[in-house]
Amino acid sequence: MTKTEKVKFVIETLEDLYPKVPIPLEHKDPYTLLIAVLLSAQSTDKGVNKITPVLFAKADNPYDMVKLSVEEIREIIKPVGLSPMKSKGIYGLSQLLIEKHDGKVPQNYKDLEELPAVGHKTASVVMSQAFGIPAFPVDTHIHRLMYRWNLTNGKNVVQTEKDAKRLFPKELWNKLHLQIIFYGREYSPARGWNVEKDIITKTIGRKEILK
């Protein structure tokens, strides 16, 4: 199979399996999505979706969020882990949104990545899922699968993102990155992986990991 054929196979298989893909993190606007994505670092979407209704009942916008103390935020979000760093990030970014952006989440990478605790992946998710701007956020599932599928060298997520953007059509990025995440969770996990069920890796994967 050529690389072009592999890419076509991935797109078609994922479209058959996941014609519709819901956004995994529950939110109602760009701000609540930004907070949910920040909370999801080294945590599960399921865990985050349990916590956010409690947090957003108290504060679902930056103006209400800064009325809470960092400690109050931390107490609410403690179950998702990394709460000291995340609570400071949530408070700090809310403050900056008020000071610099009239309380609104900016629609560009530069301003998003200047917010406390917001890295490139978080910014990419917000650009893609909140604003519909083509982006290809690379999480651990996408990084793992792109390597297993021999579509990247797997050196780092920066390279994986570049390769994904180069290989896949731009108009598919926003849906495709979610389809890959769903596929990774269901058919190609890091642990307990059964390659017989993993049709994409079985068909186009690296020979060395299929042995």
Residue ranges of alpha helices (H) inside the chain are 3-17, 30-39, 45-58, 62-65, 70-77, 83-101, 109-113, 120-125, 140-148, 157-167, 173-187, 199-204, 207-210
Please tell me the distance from the alpha carbon of residue 80 to that of residue 131, in angstroms, as a whole number. 26
42 conformational bin, left if phi > 0, alpha if psi -120 to 50, beta if neither:
left
Check 60, 139, 162, 175 and give the catalytic one: 139
Active site annotation includes 121: yes
Instruction: Name the active-site residue from 6, 86, 121, 198.
Output: 121
The residue written with tokens 């629609």 in the block is 107
Specify the residue for token string 């969020």: 65
User: Going by C-beta distance under 8 Å and a sequence separation of 6 or more, which residues neighbour residue 117?
Assistant: 38, 85, 86, 88, 89, 90, 92, 93
**Token pair for 171:** 């108009």
User: Which residues are known to be catalytic?
Assistant: 121, 139
